[in-house]
Structure 1
Amino acid sequence: MKNLCIFCGSSWGRRKEFEDAAIALSTEIARRGYGLVYGGSSAGLMGACADAALAEGGRVIGILPNALKAKEIDHKGLTELHLVESMHERKAMMEQLSDGFISIPGGIGTMDELFEMWTWASLGWHEKPSALFNVAGYYDDLIRFLDRTAEDAFVRQEHRDMLIVETDIDRLFERLEGYVAPKVGKWIPKEGSII
């Protein structure tokens, strides 16, 4: 792995644990010699991630749509800042530049990024790991729902298991670094079962 991408909020959220986790995770990314790829903003948890990795001497690559430049406030101190025309282009560049993806607390934009990268992996479009860093139980309800999608046969268990879920940073890195993408096919929906 060379670069890890963090998906997170451009706001702070209500809990100090979210900021603390963003800082700790980004610091650890830099300490391990990885570059940090993220959304390019100086606001909220996004800015905290960039600042922490930069303070540790890390490389930080931001990708920001021009339309969000004023709203999310582009970070002026990054190693690289790529301005793109759309959210689609942003996600495509994040995927191209990254070797794995970590979602920490965030809103619908974070969910969009998480699900798109995980979907692409389940389709075999890339073999990169996706992870939820479940800070202060933020993703507990989502995790229960995702388990339900496999229980009710809308998602193959192998695809559900592709998403790493951790609360401990060291264990998170151990699983990201040891990730091997499963070789699983798609389904045939006519009979209502997946193969």
Structure 2
Amino acid sequence: MKRVAVYCGSASPEDPRYLALASDVGRTLAERGIGVVYGGGRLGLMGAVAGGALAAGGEVIGVIPEALVGSEVAHHGCTELRVVSGMHERKRAFTDLSDGFLTIPGGVGTMDELWEAVSWAQLGYHAKPVGLLNAFGFYDHLLAFNRHMIEVGFIRPAHAGIIIAEHELDLLLARMAAHEPHTPIFAMKAHDL
């Protein structure tokens, strides 16, 4: 993986572990020669990821909608800052520019990005690894719900492994690097669906 899209929150939770985690993720990716593609913000976990990667000499490409640039939240210290018209263009750029997706703790926007990456993988719009860093057990309930969707039958067996979840970044990156694409819906016949 030469570049990874990092999905995370723009908020700064009171618990300092979250900002430290985000900074460590950016630094680790940079030290491994993996560029960061992210939401282009300077606040919260977003800013910490970018700051960690930049401090370690890494490439950081921010992709931010015009409306947020006007709100003075853009990180102008990125290697490259791409300004797009809206959220759909932003998420498309994440997919086009990256070789995989790495989700760390975040809120509603982070969930939107994660589930779109999962949905697009399931359909066949991309065949890239979708990693979820379940630091501090943050995503325990989400992973339980994902298992529930699999058990009930809303996620096909062929797609049950799309989300690659780990508690530790090193193990997650190793699993993402070893990712084997699954059979997407676009390649299935009606009897497989």
TM-score by length of 1: 0.93
Deviation, structure 1 residue 34: 0.9
CA separation in 2, counterparts of 1:158 and 1:102?
A: 21
CA separation in 2, counterparts of 1:180 and 1:2?
A: 17
Provide structure 2 residue ranges, at least 5 long, that are not aligned to the other structure.
none
Runs of 4+ with deviation above 6 angstroms: none
CA gap of 1:142–1:66, structure 2 versus 1, over 3 A, is same
Identity %, equivalent residues: 43
Deviation, structure 1 residue 158: 2.6
Structure-2 residue corresponding to 1:155: 155
Structure-1 residue corresponding to 2:121: 121
- Report if the CA contact (8 A) 1:150-1:157 is conserved: yes
TM-score by length of 2: 0.94
Q: How does 1:24-43 map to 2 (within 5 A)?
A: 24-43=24-43
CA separation in 1, counterparts of 2:109 and 2:160?
A: 21
Cα offsets for 1:24-44 (capped at 9, x unmatched): 111110011011000000000
- Report if the CA contact (8 A) 1:105-1:138 is conserved: yes
CA separation in 2, counterparts of 1:165 and 1:85?
A: 32
Structure 2 residue 146 is the aligned partner of structure 1 residue 146: yes
CA gap of 1:184–1:76, structure 2 versus 1, over 3 A, is closer
| 1:174 alignment partner, SS class | helix
**Greater CA deviation, 154-163 or 169-178?**
154-163
Deviation, structure 1 residue 2: 1.2
Cα offsets for 1:91-117 (capped at 9, x unmatched): 000100000001111111000000101
Provide structure 1 residue ranges, at least 5 long, that are not aligned to the other structure.
none
